[in-house]
Chains A and B, each alone.
Chain A
Amino acid sequence: MTKVTMTVNGRQVSGDVEDRTLLVHFIRDRLGLTGTHVGCDTSQCGACVVHMDGKSIKSCSTLAVQAAGSSVTTIEGLAQGGELHPVQAAFKANHGLQCGFCTPGMVMAAVDMINRYGGTLDEKTVRENLEGNICRCTGYHNIVKAILAAASDMSAGRQAAE
């Protein structure tokens, strides 16, 4: 057992874990943050995507001990003050989900790609950057629309603020 300490959604948390504990199980079972999902469990589907030190990673392929000392953001950490994050709002407005199982990973992947590309995101880039996230309901069209809408909204927001 190892005591791991990390920052999750801005809050310092710690817990004793077996070294083989996956980050996703620490997040779900120990912290009770069940928005992060386990889909395929073979590192292909992306339902488990969280951000570690600002970058999207697959929490089913990372050990909790590897994440010790880092800052982790999960889907629960996006909305601020009861208001949806712009990417969450865009998924809602564009019907970017059906069953919703892949949605937390999709949203975390979308936030990461908007962080990297900003307002320069185009449809081809969005589709390429969704390679690590699988949706079995939507056919992706509305997910892509939602991400493009959020990228455009967020870039307009940044310009307005400057």
Chain B
Amino acid sequence: MKSTTFDRANLLCGLLFIALGAFFALQSLTLELGTAFRMGPGYFPLILACALILLGGVILLQSIRIEGEPIGHIAWRGMFFILPAPIFFGLTVRGLGFVPALFLTALIASFASGKMKPLTALVLAFCLTIFSVLVFSYGLGLPFRRFGPWLGF
């Protein structure tokens, strides 16, 4: 008899779908369900959420039988620098203004790679900012303030 092996990717995947399905199902239950004839806001999503839980369950079951390829490396460093970049841009674009916000966003994203040297990152962020300001702010006239109130402008 073979030893029971789990496919970790599918196991996690099944659990993730069940969890997401449960989230939507619980939220739907707080909404008015209505009837099939006059559906409330919760009716359709509840059905979908149940389907998602069901599908998650099937994936979970499948994970017990077959072993797939391993999950492999995870880009921790990438996540740590890439994901905050747009958030940072969002938080600062109105306060700091377009120019510094974009410069710093590009700089933050640059550090996601181990190959990037600090000087290259600075030069890259600088050129990128110049280009974007010329194109979007001057060229297309998008309503961004180039320097924001946080800098005393």
The answer to whether A and B belong to the same complex is no
